[in-house]
Structure 1
Amino acid sequence: MAEQDEQKLDETKADTVADTTAATDVKDVEDADKDSDNGEDFGISMDKVEAVLNKSADEAAMTPQMRKMFARQQENTKRVEESIKGTKSNPAWFVPLFCALLVIGLVWVVVYYMTYDYPIPNIGAWNLAIGFGIMLVGFLMTMWWR
């Protein structure tokens, strides 16, 4: 009976040691993840990486990895600048003008429906055509908006 108790005690100790070892392994993996997040898994600190990206590092002191990263960053910057240059935009007055035309046309139609004579007296339903024409011009301008 004493042998069985001693054997169970040894098994319990072995399980405790295994649990402790597993916990230590998990902690080591977590520490490795933290190190890789800091950029230390390649042997380059984040300060050096930021210096390269900000163009404040000396090129002679750069490692080949840092030079490749720097060249890639310059290429991406150049590509973005070229795409920005290629875009066209409307003048500053474009959006306010088409919004104003839409609103003026709407007001024109509403005024005619409320008075049946104004905004231009004695032309009757042509006031509707004028109001809708003004709104149509504003709407067509929205299709050219960039």
Structure 2
Amino acid sequence: MADEELNKGTDAASTEDEAQKAQDVIDTEAVKSVESEEVVLENQDDQSTSDDSAQGGADQEKSDEEDLDLPLEKIEELLSATNVDKNAVSPQLRRVAQRQAENSKRVEETIKDTKANPVWFVPLFCFLMILGLAWAVVYYLTTKYPIPGIGAWNLLIAFCIVMVGFIMTMWWR
């Protein structure tokens, strides 16, 4: 009994250790991706500056290198904050927030540009496909109904109803 409780305790501890290691790997990968984006941005900034401002750029790079060890909590806090004092955060965090704002703006514009069908559209084409199927099944079971006297033309009617439903699916957005 005591051995079982001891095993349960060590299993829970090892699971917590594995979860912590996985979170550390995720945090490290997130920081590395932010760092690689910053290196690209810094290279673009360096190419656009003149030789006179190269000395100031070197000082800026040194201060950026000090900011490379950003904890994920700071980034998440910055992205979730609504009003941020731009002077209180590092340049790297400012760029991360700016990229996030640009991405959000692009997504919102894409959503606004999408056209949607009316609410009745999907139920209507589903109903038509089911009605056509039911029409054909009723004819096969009775060979007389749904419209008595026209015989096999009932199958053509069923097929046309189903096809109208399928054609409507092409305009579904």
| Secondary structure, aligned partner of 1:60 | coil
- Is 1:49 aligned to residue 75 of structure 2? yes
Using structure 1 for the length normalisation, give the TM-score: 0.68
- Is 1:71 aligned to residue 98 of structure 2? yes
Question: How many angstroms apart in 2 are the aligned matches of 1:41 and 1:93?
Answer: 54
Offset of residue 124 of structure 1: 1.5
| Superposition RMSD in Å | 2.5
- In the alignment, structure 2 segments of 5+ residues that lack a partner are 1-23, 32-65
- Is 1:98 aligned to residue 125 of structure 2? yes
How many pairs were matched up? 114
Using structure 2 for the length normalisation, give the TM-score: 0.58
Query: Which amino acid letter does the alignment assign opposite residue 133 of structure 1?
Result: C
Show the 5 A alignment for 1:130-141.
Answer: 130-141=157-168
Percent identity of equivalent pairs: 57
Q: Highest Rg: 1 or 2? A: 1
Partner of 1:20: none
* 8 Å Cα contact 2:67-2:90 kept in structure 1: no
Offset of residue 73 of structure 1: 0.7
| 1:123 pairs with one of 150, 155, 158 | 150
Q: Deviations over 1:91-138 (max 9, x none)?
A: 222111111111111111111122121111111222111111111111
Runs (4+) off by over 3 Å: 38-41
Query: Which amino acid letter does the alignment assign opposite residue 130 of structure 2?
Result: V
Question: How many angstroms apart in 1 are the aligned matches of 2:72 and 2:131?
Answer: 58
Question: How many angstroms apart in 2 are the aligned matches of 1:113 and 1:43?
Answer: 73
| Secondary structure, aligned partner of 1:61 | coil
| Secondary structure, aligned partner of 2:115 | coil
